[in-house]
Amino acid sequence: MAETTLYERGMATRRSVLGNKHVDNASAKMTAFDSDFQQFITEGAWGSVWSRPGLSKRERSMITLALLAALGHDEEVAMHVRATANTGATPDDIKEALLHVAVYAGVPAANRAFKIAREELAKRGESAA
């Protein structure tokens, strides 16, 4: 049986976390300008880090949300809140991760992330805990 490449493993993990629709949309928008970047994140983030043993997708999801919120990456926070539907992270998990953001990265960063999380959870018919 052939061994999967880092790209193939990354694409499988990326699809399992973000969903086929998101990945298909991103792939459809890819151009010659950003194709190397897309390959880099698929191999590096998804094929290497997200595919490692040791942490579950749920745990990686919460860590990712906290980091993105702390850094103020609102669009990525929204995308990864949506991805929690695929990782097993619950609204309570999101809340707990964002409380850590408030303590370690500041209340304004957490406040913004809580707002984004509430909006994204409402879109899928879930209320924030």
Tens digit of pLDDT for each residue in 33-88? 999 999 999 999 999 999 999 999 999 999 999 999 999 999 999 999 999 999 99
Does 10 reside within a domain?
Answer: yes
pLDDT value for 4: 78
pTM here?
Answer: 0.90
Q: Range of 60's domain?
A: 56-124
Query: Looking at residue 109, which CATH number applies to its domain?
Result: 1.20.1290.10
Does 77 reside within a domain?
Answer: yes
pLDDT value for 127: 73
Work out the pLDDT band at 126, boundaries 50, 70, 90: confident
Q: Is the pLDDT of residue 16 over 60?
A: yes
Long-range contacts formed by 2-11: CB under 8 A, 24+ apart: 5/47, 6/43, 6/47, 6/48, 7/39, 7/42, 7/43, 7/47, 8/47, 9/46, 9/47, 9/51, 10/42, 10/43, 10/44, 10/45, 10/46, 10/47, 10/48, 10/50, 10/51, 11/42, 11/46, 11/47
| pLDDT tens digits, 113-124 | 999 999 999 999
Residues 13, 43, single domain; the answer is yes
Does 4 reside within a domain?
Answer: yes
Q: How many domains does the chain have?
A: 2
pLDDT value for 34: 96
Residues 113, 64, single domain; the answer is yes
Residues 64, 44, single domain; the answer is no
Does 60 reside within a domain?
Answer: yes
